[in-house]
A and B are shown apart, each in its own frame.
Chain A
Amino acid sequence: MESTQLGQIPAKATTGAGQGAVDEVDLTPVRTYWQLARQRFMQHSLAVVGLIVMAILVTLALVVPTITGSLYAKTSLSLANHPPSLLNPFAPLGYDSIGMNVFIRLVKALQTSLFVGFSAVSIIVVVGITVGAIAGYVGGAVDNLLMRLVDVVLSLPSFFLIVMMVALFGTGNAIVVIVAIGIVGWTTAARLVRAEFLSLRETDFVQAARALGAGDRRIIVRHMLPAAMAPVVVAATLGIADSVVVEATLSFLSFGISPPEASLGNMLTNAQEFFYRQPILILYPGLTLILVVLAASFMGDGLRDALDPRQRVRK
């Protein structure tokens, strides 16, 4: 059998004498991790739909309120209860009972909801990863302590905890709502990361990294976190949906964002008062909420499939 000589590279596409099929040059182009991930994501048609819908919603939420400024809170009694009309490009969804432009208000509400959703999830992810990584990596008493803390937070009825915090620290303040959702919501992410870390800590490649002289921080950040990210990304995307719903619920119950600021929840409250006169007003924020939640969930599914490097592209 031929052994490989030092410094001698077998010519490309040799007949593989001695080397066997193993070392034969495979001429398919190399695809990077992100190319592969994108390819897998794109094969998930619902996820693509979710991504497109989310992209449209985010664009709307970013662009329209910037152009219209404070118009979302402008009342005009002469326009009150003006019906929706596609002929009026400025107010396709008409005006509500106190003459506020429903479309502009809806987009502003969407902006608020998405802002709350993304910010709360950022807190959840940062806190969850930190706690989970420390617990899973250090183990022992630290792990025990942190996980009991998770148990305590989980055992409290989360929604009432949020309501309580918002009531204590200021209703109507988006930041308070975000922090409240974050404080209550990090537990799942922490558990996921911890579980991943517990198994990753024992893997050969972590051991190998240690044998190469890598320090704890490097092992955690470079070797363990990326491998633990897939479930976190999925949880985070689903967390966006959850946070948006919680914010809407809070605002619906007048604990969250209150008028004149717009939120999907307080638009629902408002619409409910005029349900008999203008039932369609409930449809707009309701449908928007459903769109946000579905888009986020589908994206979460797609990302889960895409980010797992162990999965190969299905043909």
Chain B
Amino acid sequence: MTVHRSDRPLLEIQDLRTHFFTQDGTVKAVDGVSYEIGDGKTVGVVGESGCGKSITALSVMRLIEQPGRIVGGSVLLRGRDLLRVDDAEMRDIRGNQISMIFQEPMTSLNPVYTCGDQISEAVSLHEAVGRRQAWERAVEMLQLVGIPDPARRAKQYPHELSGGMRQRVMIAMALSTNPELLIADEPTTALDVTIQAQILELMKSLRERNRMAIMLITHDLGVIAEMADDVVVMYAGQVVEQSDADTVFAKPHHPYTTGLLASIPRLGEKRQRLEVIQGVVPNPLNLPKGCLFKRRCPHAMPVCDTPPPLQEIARGHLSRCWLTPAGEPPAVGPEATGELAEAAASALQAPA
């Protein structure tokens, strides 16, 4: 496959909006999310359950099912808007340019086919190869993902393999067509810790080998620290902070990110109680006015009733919070708030 290098990033998500039209009302699962993934880069997307990180990924793949619908924005893959290509083209892109691996290796493989069959199928969906060639590729892929005795394993059914092995098979399947972007939706959540480390190692080495980009969705900041170049923190369907990984860990700005980092237990540290973020994620059917995080935020202030824009607080570091770049409360007073609101409006209109 030819890889077109250009100035544009591999994937640009722009103002993506995916809403679910339920009987109780509209859930704005993804509401104006923008971020990009450069060639060969790993972007970690973090956030609590239900913050919209998986829905963003599924929207990129156009795998949103009823009652969900992508209502706005664009997803540009090398400049081509995936939301506007027809179904056949999209099928061709899935698994070929963008592959996806899922959280549950136990159920993501079809129980009635052997592992080899399933990888061969992935290959033959996108390349005109014969059965035997496809099978050989499958065995090769199994070897690549570190499965011992791949020729024999290829003939086995998923239930004959352990969770870690199955996730390796999933990765083999996803990578069998050399995608430029791998979307990994919580790839290690269902695995135990030692296997997690193995799978992350594997993904790292395959990333170097194939020079592919990874969208890594997780709620595990440890995984992010291990893998990611850039980090996108999501909360209630919005990006609240975005930066390179080092900055996020060293100088988090948004109180939500700070809270997430504080709630990681650390080895060798004596603490009576683990820090937690107070409260719960707001009901998506009844989001608060203004900042979505204000009810749980230790820094909540009057200005938070106006929705804060996602603004650059340092080079390459975006945060959706009214706190000043230094983390101070902004100058208070009605005029100041008005100015800030204007700034917000212009920031929202300005092209990214």
In the complex, chain B residues 123-181 whose Cβ is within 8 Å of any chain A Cβ: 125-126, 143-150, 152, 155-157, 159-160, 162, 164-165, 170, 173-174
**Is B15 located at the chain interface by the 8 A CB criterion?**
no
**Is A44 located at the chain interface by the 8 A CB criterion?**
no
**Is A23 located at the chain interface by the 8 A CB criterion?**
yes
* A4-B201, A9-B150, A204-B104 known; A212+B99 contact, CB < 8 A: yes
Contact (Cβ within 8 A) B198 A9: no
Top 5 nearest A-B pairs by Cβ distance? A4-B146, A212-B95, A3-B201, A213-B95, A213-B94
* A3-B201, A309-B157 known; A12+B91 contact, CB < 8 A: no
Q: How far is the CA of A25 from the CA of B149 in the complex (A)?
A: 7
A74 CB to closest chain B CB (Å) equals 51
Chain B: residues with Cβ within 8 Å of the partner, total of: 54
Contact (Cβ within 8 A) A310 B125: no
Contact (Cβ within 8 A) B110 A205: yes
* A4-B202, A210-B63, A211-B61 known; A309+B111 contact, CB < 8 A: yes
Q: What are 13 A-B interface contacts by the 8 Å CB criterion? A: A3-B202, A6-B146, A9-B150, A23-B147, A33-B157, A208-B170, A211-B61, A213-B96, A214-B121, A223-B110, A226-B112, A310-B111, A310-B159
**Is B197 located at the chain interface by the 8 A CB criterion?**
yes
Q: How far is the CA of A211 from the CA of B173 in the complex (A)?
A: 11
Which residues of A lie under 8 Å from residue B82 when comparing CB positions?
Answer: none
Chain A: residues with Cβ within 8 Å of the partner, total of: 42
* A25-B149, A310-B159 known; A207+B63 contact, CB < 8 A: yes
Q: How far is the CA of A33 from the CA of B116 in the complex (A)?
A: 13
**Is A233 located at the chain interface by the 8 A CB criterion?**
no
Q: How many A-B residue pairs have CB under 8 A?
A: 123
Contact with B along A192-219 (1 / 0, CB 8 A): 0000000000011101111111110010
Which residues of B lie under 8 Å from residue A310 when comparing CB positions?
Answer: 111, 159
Which residues of B lie under 8 Å from residue A212 when comparing CB positions?
Answer: 94-95, 99, 121-122, 125, 173-174
**Is B194 located at the chain interface by the 8 A CB criterion?**
yes
B225 CB to closest chain A CB (Å) equals 17
Contact (Cβ within 8 A) A214 B111: no
**Is A30 located at the chain interface by the 8 A CB criterion?**
yes
In the complex, chain B residues 205-227 whose Cβ is within 8 Å of any chain A Cβ: 205-206, 209
Which residues of B lie under 8 Å from residue A226 when comparing CB positions?
Answer: 112-113
A97 CB to closest chain B CB (Å) equals 55
Q: How far is the CA of A207 from the CA of B160 in the complex (A)?
A: 21
**Is A1 located at the chain interface by the 8 A CB criterion?**
yes
